[in-house]
Structure 1
Amino acid sequence: MICLFTLLVVFNLLVSQCHGGCAEVDSLTEAVAGEGFLLGCISCKRREEVSARSTVDWHFKPPGEEEFRHIFHYDHPSAEILHEDFSGRLEWHGTKTRDIQIGAIYIHNVIFNDTGTYRCTINRTLFLPHYDQLVAVVKEVELNVVAVANRELTVVISEIMMYVLIVVLQLWLVVVLVYCYKKISEEHEARDARKALKAQAEPLESKDICDGVQLE
């Protein structure tokens, strides 16, 4: 799933550079301790022909606390880690232009204390013909850090279907082999029967020929 989201992020980066479409994909919500994790945040600009400039801020709130901590700020091309708990562990993985549509960040070496609520805020200024319009988009991600990745239901179902298919194919192969063996055996028996009938018929034909000669 992480790879899938990464591919979607890359796709959105490419289409944004080509002035194409944009698809908003929700972030994953489960990280594994000791591994990396991509916090997703996508906000598509509705009018591609309008130029814009954006900044992105990430805040974090641990479980049981009421206040968010400002942990990251991006204003192209500079990125700042603003909280010591994330020092050296956050990396910008969003749009690398001033017109930001993907505000994703990557957490290196995830720890259990990273569990909590993450808030992504994209402040976008649209440069319209007669005035500038400020638009703020806020998205939240409830992240849960686990020791071992939980296997998704779709993966389990896929594996079950694979084993079922293997068993079915094996049974089908056995049935085909049995059918072919019976078919070959029947052909051998029929051929032997024809040979036997032919062998029996040959003396009778010889006797008839001899009888005809004697009659003459």
Structure 2
Amino acid sequence: MKQLSVFVVFSLLVSECYGGCAEVDSRTEAVAGEGFLLGCISCKTREEVPARATVDWHFKPAGEEKFRHIFHYDHPNATVFHPDFSDRLEWHGTPDPDVQTGAVYIQNVTFNDTGTYRCTFHRTLLLSLSHQLVVVEKEVELTVVAEASPELVAVISEIMMYVLIVGLQLWLIAVLIYCYKKTWDEHERHEARRALRAQAELLQEKENCGGDQPDKLGEVASLE
């Protein structure tokens, strides 16, 4: 549902902001019993030209040869033609006559909804000299499954999360080892300096003792 909401918001944004219109492919896997957004986007090549568009959806069930007309949108009216989709299709496309996002939402998806969906834009460019009709068709191969399969992005994100966790742990261990080694080296240098000072003091004491001994011998000789 989170990915569905993101797709709906993105579709509405690109349809309302013509300068940022981007044609995004629809998802192709639905879960039985849940809702599904059939995405279909057709951006105008010349945004400065006013236009009006209608959208038709056709459906060909798996194993059949013919398409059946199931939906038509001509702002502001949306019409469902086929009884199999009665009360199950909702318009989630551009809410104005210049349609660029022709998405429809299927409620309560069933396994019978598996098949090919064809989205057709009939766009009339309102040119100053004459009107020009442009027809754009797109198809979506929909598969209905009992349970949602893990999305590739989600799997990659999970893998990257574990890699990041392991990497942080290794980095923390390396930092601890470095800090311990640095502390130990500092301790060794401190002990070495203490040993040198102690040795220097001992040598100085010996030198002082050696310097006083001749004086004491002279005092003894004078007393004699």
Deviation at 1:100, TM superposition (A): 1.0
Q: Deviations over 1:110-137 (max 9, x none)?
A: 1111111111111122222232222222
Partner of 1:189: 188
Ranges of 4+ aligned residues in structure 1 off by more than 3 Å: 1-5, 152-155, 213-216
* Counterpart check, 1:5 vs 2:4: no
* Counterpart check, 1:44 vs 2:43: yes
Unmatched segments (≥5 aa) in structure 2:
216-224
* Counterpart check, 1:150 vs 2:153: no
Give the TM-score, by structure 2 length.
0.84
Q: How do 1:55-204 and structure 2 match up within 5 A? A: 55-204=54-203
Q: Deviations over 1:1-49 (max 9, x none)?
A: 5455334312312313xxx242222211111112221111111222222
Rounded Cα–Cα distance in structure 1 between residues aligned with 2:155 and 2:118: 32
Rounded Cα–Cα distance in structure 2 between residues aligned with 1:168 and 1:186: 27
Which has the higher Rg, Structure 1 or Structure 2? 2
Rounded Cα–Cα distance in structure 2 between residues aligned with 1:73 and 1:43: 16
Rounded Cα–Cα distance in structure 2 between residues aligned with 1:205 and 1:143: 94
Contact 2:16 2:94 in 1 (8 A): no
Rounded Cα–Cα distance in structure 1 between residues aligned with 2:45 and 2:206: 103
Deviation at 1:173, TM superposition (A): 2.1
Contact 1:33 1:145 in 2 (8 A): yes
Structure 2 SS opposite 1:198: helix
Structure 2 SS opposite 1:106: strand
Give the TM-score, by structure 1 length.
0.87
| Alignment: residue pair count | 213
Contact 1:2 1:28 in 2 (8 A): no
Which residue identity is paired with 2:11?
A: V
Q: Deviations over 1:31-70 (max 9, x none)?
A: 1112221111111222222222211111111112222222
Question: Relative to 1, partners in 2 of residues 1:164 and 1:51: Cα closer, same or farther, differing over 3 Å?
Answer: closer
Contact 1:72 1:80 in 2 (8 A): yes
Unmatched segments (≥5 aa) in structure 1:
none
When structure 1 is superposed on structure 2, of 128-137 and 116-125 the one drifting more is 128-137
